[in-house]
Amino acid sequence: MSYLMSIVEPIETERAIEGFASLMAHICELYTCGESSSVSEFEGHELAESVLYVLGLTDETVQQTINLLTSEDVVTIWTIKRNELESRIPDVMALWQRAVSVMPPIRNIALRDTLASIGKLPQVYDTFFAAHEVPASIDYPLSVPVPECLKGLDYVEAWLTQLLEEARFLALFDENEISAYLDAWCPDYRGLLINLHDPIHEAWRKGRISPRREPEDIRE
């Protein structure tokens, strides 16, 4: 348990530590289907990370998390916060749908596979025991990477928000012209882990490719 407490080092109050220990005991019991309250050190670490993510612990929310852990019924608080996390999934999937709809059909394997993986998020996201994990295989590199400090659903939401911005830019151009330019720029752009926005943006900036419509014509 001392190792698990090191995860919440900023939380110094005795009541918060007791609340965290009580909550972890409940989570471990759920995790082992009531057969045990003991898990391996690695499992305990991951479960604790999930719990703290559900409770919203970040560098900016330490005090708020302390307040939650010192509540009379910390298990109920965790359940409420977990339900709130799950309630965000439809909005994230709506964002995914917009990105899929706007993105031109450029045949890049990493982009295709990443979007397909995110599409399965509602079925695979484990808010009970792995809420902090990114519930998708995200290989496609963005022009502006998502901060590594983000976890779980927050990471996916930020990733999709950036992808949608890049997709809207690409959608300004003729699909055939994009493909022709990318073929000339990098014949294996379909198979490589490369961002598609950057070369088109650079070509547009240098006047080598022109948009077929103005940005205001892009709709969600």
Instruction: Please state, in angstroms and as integers, the Cα–Cα distance from residue 192 to each residue in 22, 74, 187, following that order.
Output: 48, 47, 10
pLDDT of 10 > 60? The answer is no
Residue type, 12: E
For residue 3, what pLDDT band results from cuts at 50, 70 and 90? very low
For residue 6, what pLDDT band results from cuts at 50, 70 and 90? low
Q: In angstroms, rounded to a whole number, what is the distance separating the alpha carbons of residues 30 and 106?
A: 44
Q: Span 53-69, mean pLDDT?
A: 86
Q: In angstroms, rounded to a whole number, what is the distance separating the alpha carbons of residues 146 and 159?
A: 6
The secondary structure of residue 188, as a DSSP letter, is: T
Q: pTM of the entire structure?
A: 0.89
* pLDDT for the residue numbered 130: 97
- Tokens, residue 159: 């990733």
Identify the residue with better confidence: 34 or 33.
Answer: 33
Beta strand residue intervals within the chain, DSSP E? none
Domain extents for the chain? Answer: 2-86, 89-217
Please, are residues 175 and 216 in contact by the beta-carbon 8 Å criterion? Answer: no
pLDDT digits (tens, 9 = 90+) for 113-160: 999 999 999 999 999 999 999 999 999 999 999 998 999 999 999 999
pLDDT digits (tens, 9 = 90+) for 162-204: 999 999 999 999 999 999 999 999 989 999 999 999 999 999 9
pLDDT of 12 > 80? The answer is no
